[in-house]
Amino acid sequence: MGMPGVPKDITTRSDRRRAIFEGTLVAGVFLLVGMLASFGLWRSSVQSLQTQLNDEMARLATVAAGLVDPELHRTFTDPLQMKSDEYARAVAPLRRFREHAPGVKYVYTAIRVGDEVHFILDAAEPGDHDGDGNEDQAAIDEVYDDCEETIHIAFGLDGAPGVATASPEPYSDEWGTFITGYAPIHDKDGNVIAVVGVDMTADRYIDRLAMAQSRTLWGLVPAGVVSIAIGLAAFALRRHTLSLKRAEANASAALRDSIAELAERNVELDQLRRKAEEVAEMKASFLANMSHEIRTPLTAVLGYLDLLEESLNDDHSPYRTSRLHHLRTIRNAGEHLLALINDILDLSKIEAGRMTLEAMPTDVAHILNDTDGILHSRAAEKGLELSFALETPIPREIISDPTRVRQILINLAGNAVKFTERGSVRVVARVAGAHLEIDVEDSGSGMTAAQAERLFRPFTQADASVTRRHGGTGLGLSICRRLSEMLGGAVELTRTEPGVGSVFRLRLPLRAAEGTPMVHSLGGESCDLAGSVRTAMAITLHGRILLAEDGKDNQRLIAHHLRKAGADVEIAENGIEALRLMDRANKRGAPFDLLLTDVQMPEMDGCTLARTVRSRALVIPIIALTAHAMPEDRMRCEEAGCDDYATKPIDRAKLLQVCARWLGQRAAA
């Protein structure tokens, strides 16, 4: 009986042996082809990996070289200088670079003296951290005995200029096995004065080689299976050998193309991810710095306006009214700048997905009354009738975010007052099914359909011409809509007509707080700016306060408010001076009762000061003052050991209240 799948013409032992031989030969050839293809792919992967790693190391070294001050670098010649502040300042950027660069173990600079290479800066911490019995940090002017020849390319060989380069392959010295990138450090005349070396442990390179080898070995599995299948097919179907071989060749080519394309896609995705992370980091840094740079001077501007306005209370001259008008004009401009930076920060946090909302009992009636109190005088100045009413009874408290609800209402009602020249602005709240609706209706200029269509886009206003009568950035409505959606509701333009007016509607989920009563009418307490001033005037502080603040204007302003409230205040211009004053006060037996510290200061910042105070086990309340307003700033202050947090510009009443609370005092009635 013949074997299944064997052609009928193969009947003799000789023919069977020939078929077996040819099938085995074909299988062997294809197995060899698969092995060669896998080996070629492995070699290509190794070469590509080595090229990428060399480029990466040279780039890392170039970045590190840019962190070195060449003029300061020239001054280090004596190992005793390693304990100097200049050495610490010079090596600090390299240490931060080492800490944030994955896989980098050593970062150092070196100079060439004759044929020898001498260390200058070493970012390693002093001591034997890897347990090999050797000091990890190289001393100034220590000879680098086991340096590889590649470093001389960075210094410049045979008259050629020094260039950034990297180790052709891992090398070993007394500190371990590394791949190193080198880059020259140039002085202002373009001369190479030193070289930066960046050592990355070879583990990462070896891991990548192992991964490439593993992929190659796994690639042999399908090659072997396919080869056996082809051999069996050749034995059974001799006449189809060539066609099967072509099919295998095509499959192998497609496989290699797919692998190459996948590798390219992975590289592109990795590059895009790194660029996105860099852009996000740059944006966050820019926003934080912009917030600080605007809020810091506004603290002084608005604070000193308070003092000037107080001084006019005793001014009985005929110019008092005009002076008050001038001061309030300046205040309005300052508050406009503050609102602008708040809008920009809010929009950026929303777009970055970093805006966080609270879910807590929210007194909507109180917020409506507050909005009335804030906008009433502005409407009266324009001769507008501003009214707030309830169309149906509403729950006194719903579960929402009171800060964001207040922000949305003040923006919608403020816009209505701003863009209405005559007539009235009416705010009406009602319960509509499962929602709480608040309509803001005005008799202003209204909008066309084209203007209404682009109304909620960021940086867009209904009137974008240079001759528009009203200012603004066009961020308010966009932020209101996004905040309302995050709250589970919406902000909509329900009606508008040119020359007649507009109606905006805020819709919120009607989640009444447990046990809350229904409110049938508005009235009662509202936001009273004069009341806030009276509150501040009524607070009395008892205790010694240490104020750490580097800005002279803010020193005088904040100290004035604290001293006027009764506190004994001493001022330090930075964290180091604050620690010195605290030590001196403790030795005298008259310690400070409260530390009020700015976050951003020279020499030692506020967070470092707080950590140092806590590390010394000093029991003192610490309040952080900062011009940054991002949510992570509060977390950073709390992690450093601060007990409370206040943003600039400083609200005098809130500042005195928080100081009184932590001093254990109560505001006087």
For residues 623 and 612, give the distance between their C-alpha atoms in angstroms, rounded to a whole number: 14
For residues 292 and 649, give the distance between their C-alpha atoms in angstroms, rounded to a whole number: 10
pLDDT at 289: 66
pLDDT at 11: 45
In CATH, the number for domain 531-662 is 3.40.50.2300
pLDDT band at 264 (very low <50, low <70, confident <90, very high): confident
Continuous segment of H or E residues that includes residue 166: strand 165-166
Token output for 388: 């707030």
pLDDT band at 580 (very low <50, low <70, confident <90, very high): very high
- Residues 6 or more apart from 122 whose CB is under 8 A from it? 91, 106, 107, 108, 109, 137, 138, 139
Token output for 497: 């007509």
Continuous segment of H or E residues that includes residue 173: strand 171-173
442, 439, 432, 441: which is closest to 392 by C-alpha?
432
For residues 188 and 198, give the distance between their C-alpha atoms in angstroms, rounded to a whole number: 23
For residues 213 and 46, give the distance between their C-alpha atoms in angstroms, rounded to a whole number: 9
pLDDT at 128: 66
Quote the pTM value: 0.45
310, 341, 336: which is closest to 323 by C-alpha?
310
**Where are any strands of DSSP class E within 269-384?**
360-363
pLDDT tens for residues 481-501?
Answer: 888 888 899 988 989 888 888
For residues 369 and 348, give the distance between their C-alpha atoms in angstroms, rounded to a whole number: 30
pLDDT at 34: 63
For residues 101 and 445, give the distance between their C-alpha atoms in angstroms, rounded to a whole number: 57
**Which of 56-60, 223-227, 294-298 is the least confident region?**
223-227
Share of the chain above pLDDT 90, in %: 22
CA angle, 71 as apex, 70 and 72 as ends, to 5°? 95
Token output for 641: 């050991």
Core vs surface per residue 390-416: b (16+ CB within 10 A) or e? beeebbbbbbbbbebbbbbbbbbbbbb
- Residues 6 or more apart from 325 whose CB is under 8 A from it? none
Token output for 121: 């800066």
In CATH, the number for domain 360-527 is 3.30.565.10
pLDDT band at 111 (very low <50, low <70, confident <90, very high): very high
pLDDT band at 432 (very low <50, low <70, confident <90, very high): very high
pLDDT at 667: 37
pLDDT tens for residues 500-516?
Answer: 889 999 999 999 888 89
- Name the one residue in this structure whose structure tokens are 């085995």: 24
pLDDT band at 467 (very low <50, low <70, confident <90, very high): very low
Note whether 398 and 508 are within 8 A (CB): yes
pLDDT band at 591 (very low <50, low <70, confident <90, very high): very high
pLDDT at 436: 93
Note whether 622 and 642 are within 8 A (CB): yes
127, 138, 136: which is closest to 82 by C-alpha?
138
For residue 44, is pLDDT > 80?
Answer: no
For residue 226, is pLDDT > 90?
Answer: no
For residue 441, is pLDDT > 50?
Answer: yes
Residue 177 is classified by DSSP as E
pLDDT tens for residues 442-458?
Answer: 998 888 887 877 777 75
Residue with the bigger pLDDT between 385 and 47: it is: 385
For residues 191 and 289, give the distance between their C-alpha atoms in angstroms, rounded to a whole number: 35
Query: Which sequence spans correspond to the domains of the chain?
Result: 13-47+207-279, 56-201, 293-351, 360-527, 531-662
- Mean of the per-residue pLDDT values for the chain? 78
- Residues 6 or more apart from 216 whose CB is under 8 A from it? 38, 39, 41, 42, 45
Q: Which amino acid is at 576?
A: I
pLDDT tens for residues 372-427?
Answer: 887 888 888 888 999 999 999 999 999 998 888 888 898 898 888 888 988 999 99
pLDDT tens for residues 118-168?
Answer: 999 988 888 766 666 677 788 898 898 878 888 888 888 887 888 889 888
Residue with the bigger pLDDT between 177 and 582: it is: 582
Domains 56-201 and 360-527 share a fold: no
pLDDT tens for residues 617-634?
Answer: 888 999 998 765 555 677
DSSP character string of 583-640: HHHHHTT---SEEEEESS-SSS-HHHHHHHHHHTT----EEEEES---HHHHHHHHHH
CATH superfamily for 56-201 is: PAS domain (3.30.450.20)
pLDDT band at 92 (very low <50, low <70, confident <90, very high): very high
Please state whether beta strands 385-390 and 424-432 pair in parallel, antiparallel, or not at all (unpaired).
parallel
